[in-house]
Amino acid sequence: MLRAVLQTQARLNSRVVFARSIQTKTVRPWSTHRLTSAPAVTSPAPKQAEVPEKAAAPKPEVESKPKRRPLKPRKAAITLTPSALDHLRSLLDSPTPKLIRIGVRNRGCSGLIYHLEYVEKPGKFDEEVVQDGVKVLIDSKALFSVIGSEMDWKDDKLASRFVFNNPNAKGECGCGESFMV
């Protein structure tokens, strides 16, 4: 028993643990702790025969995966004004159910324009925004450009269109069609 303790102490004294630094790509010592004296041995370890064995319950062979919480934003990615909700309801009231997807395209003076389209079913990574019973999809590629925006419907003498109040927009062109993030 004492020989095993001394051999363990000798191995610990000769071992130095190293860790690789991710940022500098250099090797440096992580810990150089060494034992100075052998640990005190109070009583011999119990043998296998002395430990009472418990009846082993059969373990299921199927490994259970830990449940992951879905990663969803707490707030909606985009908010809809009451006038936008009314107009979207009128657009979506049709015999064949369709959805509206909001996206951005590389066009215009400033670089990006908003793009709305009808789709049959949501894409794999599209974000669903449901507000007052109206469901709108946001294209996954456009999510970071439109997150936190407000969608409004403006109806005046010159034009009727959706207007996006985007806090992420750094600038807009003169006509208001395109924006830059």
Q: Where are the domains of the chain?
A: 2-31, 78-180
* Confidence at residue 70, expressed as pLDDT on a 0 to 100 scale: 77
Q: In sequence order, which residues have a C-beta less than 8 Å from that of residue 136 and are 6 or more positions away?
A: 78, 80, 88, 99, 100, 101, 102, 128, 129, 130, 151
* Assigned token pair, 49: 């025969």
CA dist 80 and 76 (Å) reads: 10
Q: What is the mean pLDDT of each run of 10 residues along the chain (181 residues)?
A: 62 48 49 53 58 58 73 73 89 81 81 85 86 87 85 87 82 70 73
* Confidence at residue 10, expressed as pLDDT on a 0 to 100 scale: 57
Could you report how far apart the first and last alpha carbons of the chain are, in Å?
70
Q: Which CATH architecture has domain 78-180?
A: Sandwich (2.60)
Alpha helices, DSSP H, located in the chain: 2-14, 82-92, 143-146
* Assigned token pair, 168: 């992420």
* Confidence at residue 28, expressed as pLDDT on a 0 to 100 scale: 52
Q: What is the 3-state secondary structure (H, E, C) of 88-104?
A: HHHHHCCCCCCEEEEEE
> What's the whole-model pTM score?
0.54
